Amino acid sequence: MPRAEAIRVSGCVVEVLSHRLVRVELENDHRMMGHTTRATSGLLAEAAVGDTVVLEVSTFDLSKGRVVQLNSLETTTK
């Protein structure tokens, strides 16, 4: 069975729950959980409310996604 392609979406961090878990609000006002893997756990270490993240969402479970990129406020305002 072929592997389903992940959906990439971007959103804004509205709540930092831990160093590996954030709540993200998408452009369509949908909120979902974003997490990292053990290998990329440093990605969200300095995440703050208002940062933009890119998530990979599985087609099977649209309520959570893996954070693959973080654009912090400091880098986007320069």
> Which pLDDT score is estimated for 74?
66
Could you tell me the residue ranges of all domains in the chain? 7-76
Q: Is 39 left (phi over 0), alpha (psi -120 to 50) or beta?
A: alpha
**Letter for the amino acid at 59?**
T
Confidence band, pLDDT 50/70/90 cuts, at residue 45: confident
Question: In this predicted model, what pLDDT tens digit does every residue of 8-22 receive, in sequence order?
Answer: 999 999 999 988 999
> Which pLDDT score is estimated for 52?
95
Provide the CATH topology of domain 7-76: OB fold (Dihydrolipoamide Acetyltransferase, E2P) (2.40.50)
45 C-beta neighbours (distance < 10 Å), count: 10
Mean pLDDT, range 34-58, rounded to an integer: 89
Question: Is pTM beyond 0.85 here?
Answer: no
